[in-house]
Amino acid sequence: MPFSAIAIDDDKKDLDLVAQHFQSFGQLELLNTFSTVKDALNFLSQESFKVDIVFCDQEMPGYDGLTAYKLLEGYYRYFVLVTHYDKYALSAYQHNVYDYLLKPLQEKHTLRLLKKISLEHLGGDKDFVVYIKAENNEHRAVDMAGVPCILADGNYCHVYTLEKQKPRWVVTTTLKSMELQLAHMNLFIRAAKNSLVNRNHIRSINLETKQVRVHGINVPLKIGDTYLEALSDFYRSKRIFTKLSRKNGAKR
């Protein structure tokens, strides 16, 4: 489920740009935009739930961003100051504002913010959570510890999860790039030229048929000859091999 959000900015041009920026992230649902803190307060006070994120400009007539942070307290989970000027960073820190974004907004900074929020929301290990840019330019935090395998399809990767609502993400990147990005996690191992499998999600491996089975995937995956030795060495220590067929038709 995406994070609900509102944006507040007295400058209409800036507000339109901010809204356009945040609407490009699939993990954000921008509920409304406001030109004054008072209008935002009226909206939030009528809702029966807290909004997840308030994005608020700092320099505004009437109530500035830091005042809005206190005034709207109780109506949001995360308050993010959005401004052209980094001179407010110290004040934001001293007021315990959750985070701070500089205009013009940049994708990498918003991704960092959403990853930070997602880690708290998921309660996951930060070392295993990555942000992927999937189909329709949707940005999504994915806990790679719950990904049983990643399959290549040309310049795309299919990231399989155990989630019922979204069992597969299509990512615009090569498998080699994905492998390098995930190397520090020590979770994935090559099974073939077109596949990475999660070490912790392997159900069985059969050296005779050169196939590996992982959780959540009904069909076995082929093991490439180049990667067979590495897989067999690793998983022999785990003792999860299926028994090989005996020769001459003997019973298993």
**Quick one: 94 and 202 in the same domain?**
no
Q: Note whether residue 247 is domain-resident.
A: no
Here the CATH number for the domain that contains residue 58 is 3.40.50.2300
- The pLDDT, as a whole number, for residue 38 is 95
Does the residue 228 lie in any domain?
A: yes
For residues 176 and 157, state if they share a domain: yes
Residues 7 and 83 reside in one and the same domain: yes
> Which pLDDT tens digit goes with each residue over 22-36?
988 877 889 999 999
| Overall average pLDDT of the 97-108 stretch | 92
* 126 pLDDT more than 70: no
* Three-state secondary structure call for residue 192: strand
156-160, strands of its sheet edge to edge? 168-171, 156-160, 149-153, 195-198, 188-192
* pLDDT on residue 242: 46
Q: Are residues 10 and 114 in the same domain?
A: yes
The reply to whether 119 and 149 lie within a common domain is no
Across all residues in the chain, what is the average pLDDT? 85
The DSSP output letter for 138 is -
Is residue 172 over pLDDT 50? yes
Stated as kind and residue range, the H or E segment containing 235 is helix 225-238
Per-residue confidence at 247, pLDDT binned at 50, 70, 90?
Answer: very low
- The CATH code of the domain that includes 183 is 2.40.50.1020
pLDDT at 175 over 70: yes
Instruction: Among 93, 123, 153, identify where a domain stops.
Output: 123
Residues 6+ apart with CB under 8 A from 192: 221, 222, 223, 224, 227
pLDDT of residue 67: 96
**Considering the entire predicted model, what is its pTM?**
0.56
What per-residue confidence (pLDDT) applies to 248? 43
Q: Is residue 8 part of a domain?
A: yes
Q: What is the pLDDT of residues 62-91, one digit of tens each?
A: 999 999 999 999 999 999 999 998 888 888
Among 123, 138, 154, where does a domain finish? 123
Domain range for 38 is 3-123
Same domain, 57 and 136: no
Tell whether 64 is covered by a domain: yes
Give the closest residue to 169 by CA, choosing from 143, 208, 193: 143
* pLDDT higher than threshold 60 for residue 56: yes
Structural domain contains residue 245:
no
In this structure, are 19 and 115 located in the same domain?
Answer: yes
Domain-ending residue, one of 100, 123, 146: 123
Claim to verify: residue 64 and residue 150 sit in the same structural domain? no
**Whether residue 1 has pLDDT greater than 80:** no
Q: Does pLDDT of 131 surpass 80?
A: no
> Strand, helix or coil at 91?
helix
